[in-house]
Each structure stands twice: as C-alpha cells, then as structure tokens.
Amino acid sequence: MKIEVAEEWHDDVLVLLPIGRIDSNNAGAFESIVMRHINGGERYLIVDFSRLDFISSAGLRVAVLAMRALKATQGRIVLCAMRTHIEEVFRISGFDRIITIRKSRDSALDAVTGPSPAQP
Amino acid sequence: MSNELRITLPARLSELRDLAGMVEDFGDANKLPAPKVFAINLELDELITNTVTYGTFEPGTDPRIDIHLKVECDILTLTMEDNGSPFDPTVDTNPNTSGPLESRSVGGLGLHLVKNFASRISYEFVGGKNRLTLEHDLKPA
C-alpha cells in the first residue's frame, strides 16, 4: 500500500512530511522513500510529523533503519511536530532517548544543522 | 451506532485500513477521547500484524479474526479472537527500550506498546480460539 509523502528542501536539509498513517501496510513504502533519499546522498533529514495521524511499531522500524544508515555517512535525522499520541509511541518505545525529537520545524532545523552532535 | 461493535475479518493486513475507519466511527458515536481511539487502532495494528505474520493455523482452517469493541461502565474493552494455534502474547517479551541504537531491535516492540496502552490485558484459549481482552479505563483512577 502506498503512502503520500510531501518533500521540501531547506538548503541541504531534506524535510519529509508523511501524510495520514504509517502502519504495517505502508511502512515498507515509507522505508523505500526514506532509504532512496539516503542512498541517493541526502545527509540531513527531517521527518516532520505534522500531517501524520497514526504510527505503529512498523513505522518505528523505519526510523531505526534511517538512523543506522545515516550514522554510516555521518548524516543526521531529526523528527519534529509530533501529535501527542505519536510522541507517546516514541516515548514508550524508548526511542525518544536515541533519536532527536523537536517540537517545531525551526527547532529541528537548528538541531539537524547545528554544531553539536545530534545523534548519541 | 450502539455501544458495541463486532467485526469478523480474514487474517490479512489489507483489512487494517477499513477497520481503522470503523473504529473511528465507533469512537465518534460513543464520544470516546481521541487518545483511546488511537490506542485501539494501534493495538489492532500490532496484534493483527502479529497474528498474520507469526500465527500458525491448522491446515484447512480459514484464518479469521473476530473483533469486539464495547463501552460499558467507563471501560472500553477490545476483545480479539483468532482461530490460530495457541499463543499467549501477554508473556513477557522484554524488548530493549534503553540501550544504544546498535542494540535496539523492533521485535517485540509492538506487544510492548500494546501492554502500555491498555489498562489491563488478559489471555485465554477457549473453544479452540486465542482470546485476548484489553480493557481501557475511560476515567482516570
């Protein structure tokens, strides 16, 4: 099943906005999109969740894969603008401790390009 | 719409979308808080994915999942039954939720989420079916 993902660029930062749901049906499609960008050389990635209503553990897997791939290329990924219940999914999974999550897009842009290492 | 919803589905992931829509309609009709509707849809996604991916079914059986949602006395109960071989998802899977990135796996995370979103969870194998009951308190304790 497909997923609609809007793409925006801020200089060399790619912002992906998945729309609607990331569930076990379409997490694979989302993974393909994310990995295509990383394999294509994108190093600074923001996933803006402002247009996402739902995520399950299948979606968390994509975040882990993206982080691992970006670690190898000294890239960075920052997530932002999550609705409360989606933030809860990341918190319960303990992913909030290994992945950078920011409230707003602006703050995510600072974190992804800032001098301090954004990734633990 | 009443305070109960019963759905029987073939055990297929492609059923999840329509199901999520029905749960949302049920939530609207019963004025359920949005986080509870989210919790139910998350649990259904994780549990149905587990059944479809790892469930084993006797040859000749038609893999089916029965879902029952009910709101009563400020408790929202989700009961899910399948006709697969006995499997108790309430036994502890203990996923690693605190180590560094390298040690994280996503296996077991789905059930970990389910256990955290439900207030109470119980399992039994009755009448040749796995039955999982998840209760959600609608009023804070």
User: Which stretches of chain B drop beneath a pLDDT of 50?
Assistant: none
Which residues have a Cβ under 8 Å from the Cβ of B129 and sit 6 or more positions away? B66, B81, B82, B83
What is the pLDDT, as a whole number, of residue A110? 95
Q: What confidence score (pLDDT) does residue B42 get? A: 97
Tell me the chain A residues in contact with residue B35 when contact means C-beta distances shorter than 8 Å.
84-85, 88
Q: Could you tell me how many CB contacts below 8 A there are between chain A and chain B?
A: 74
Q: Which residue has the tokens 């390298």?
A: B102
**List of chain A residues whose C-beta atoms are within 8 Å of the C-beta of residue B97:** 92-94
- For position A119, what pLDDT does the model report? 47
Chain A residues within 8 A (CB-CB) of chain B?
A: 1, 21, 23-25, 54, 56-58, 60-61, 64, 67-68, 71, 84-85, 88-89, 92-95, 97-98, 119-120
**Virtual CA dihedral for A8, A9, A13, A14, nearest 10 degrees?**
40
Task: Kindly report the nearest CA distance between residue A25 and chain B, in angstroms.
Answer: 6
What is the enclosing helix (H) or strand (E) of A5? strand A4-10
Q: For residues A112 and B105, which has the higher predicted lDDT (pLDDT)?
A: A112
* pTM (predicted TM-score): 0.91
Predicted confidence at residue B27, as pLDDT, reads 97
Q: How far apart are CA A116 and CA A87, in angstroms?
A: 23
ipTM: 0.89
B chain contacts of residue A120, beta-carbon cutoff 8 Å: 100-101
- What pLDDT is stored for residue B56 in this prediction? 87
- Mind listing the domains of chain A with CATH numbers? 4-107 (3.30.750.24)
DSSP string, A20-40: EEE-TTTHHHHHHHHHHHHHT
pLDDT in tens, A54-78: 999 999 999 999 999 999 999 999 9
Six-digit token string for B38 = 């989210």
pLDDT tier, A117 (very low <50, low <70, confident <90, very high otherwise): low
* pLDDT at B58 (0 to 100): 87
Q: Is the CB of B106 less than 8 angstroms away from the CB of A60?
A: yes
B11-33 pLDDT, tens per residue?
A: 888 889 999 999 999 999 999 99
Mean pLDDT of A86-104: 95
In chain B, which among 8-37 make CB contacts under 8 A with chain A?
Answer: 13-14, 16-17, 20, 34-35
Provide the 8-state DSSP code for B138.
Answer: S
Is B122 part of the contact surface with chain A (CB cutoff 8 Å)?
Answer: no
Chain A contact present for B138, CB below 8 A? no
Percent of chain A scoring above 90 in pLDDT: 91
Percent of chain A clearing pLDDT 70 (strictly above): 96
CA distance B37 to B126: 27
CB of A50 closer than 8 Å to CB of A79: no
Which chain B residues are Cβ-neighbours of A85 within 8 angstroms? 34-35, 38-39
Which residues have C-beta within 8 Å of that of residue B101, sequence separation ≥ 6? A64, A67, A68, A71, A98, A119, A120
Residue A120 clears pLDDT 60, i.e. is over it: no
pLDDT at A34 over 70: yes
Beta strands in B11-138 (DSSP E): 64-72, 75-82, 120-126, 129-137
**Fold entry, domain B4-137:** Heat Shock Protein 90 (3.30.565)
Distance separating alpha carbons of residues A66 and A73, to the nearest angstrom:
11
Q: Band of the pLDDT at A118, cuts 50, 70, 90?
A: very low
Res. A23: pLDDT tops 90: yes
